[in-house]
Amino acid sequence: MFTISHNATGLALVRITHNELPETKNLAYFDSQFHKSIPEHIRTYAIDPKVANKNKLRKYGFHGISYAFITQAVAKHLDKPVDQLNIIALHLGSGASACCIRGGKSYDTSMGLTPVSGLPGGTRSGDVDPRPVLSLELVQFIELTLPTAWYFIILTTRASRARRVRKICILPQ
């Protein structure tokens, strides 16, 4: 649903297998399955719980197949039971993420509702503070709508509750 670039290839393989080998069962293992163990207080966004639940807005995590393999491989290498393994693992490539594995299970991951959150990747921005995007859109809106040669914008930020710092930006047309 969220990794559109991956879904087309996966669905094509299912269709080919189904057409060429109709008696064969297809088994899907979703990349987010490894992260089902993330505790509720970590996977829950700091938004209205009713809105979050209604819209299934929560941290799902991705690269789970990779992390499942890493968990098994590291436990074997350390000659340690998986349920006693506590590591921070990284999946680095065109897509990148980090995962806290506690007791052999996902405890937290840098990816959230979609693979876009977290670390930047080849086609992903990673976490982006929305303010610069909104500010840029405001500046572009003003450039498109005001007919004057110069625009004066007063940006206000709170340095403290008692005083405000004001900056004036002059943007040429």
Which residues are tagged catalytic? Answer: 31
SS3 133: helix
CA triple 11-66-54, angle to 5 deg: 65
Tokens (6 digits) for 170: 């002059």
Closest CA to 1 of 51, 43, 60, 54: 60
DSSP 146: -
Closest CA to 71 of 62, 61, 83: 83
CA pair distance 29, 168, nearest whole angstrom: 54
**What are the φ and ψ backbone dihedral angles of 10, each rounded to 5 degrees?**
-60, -45
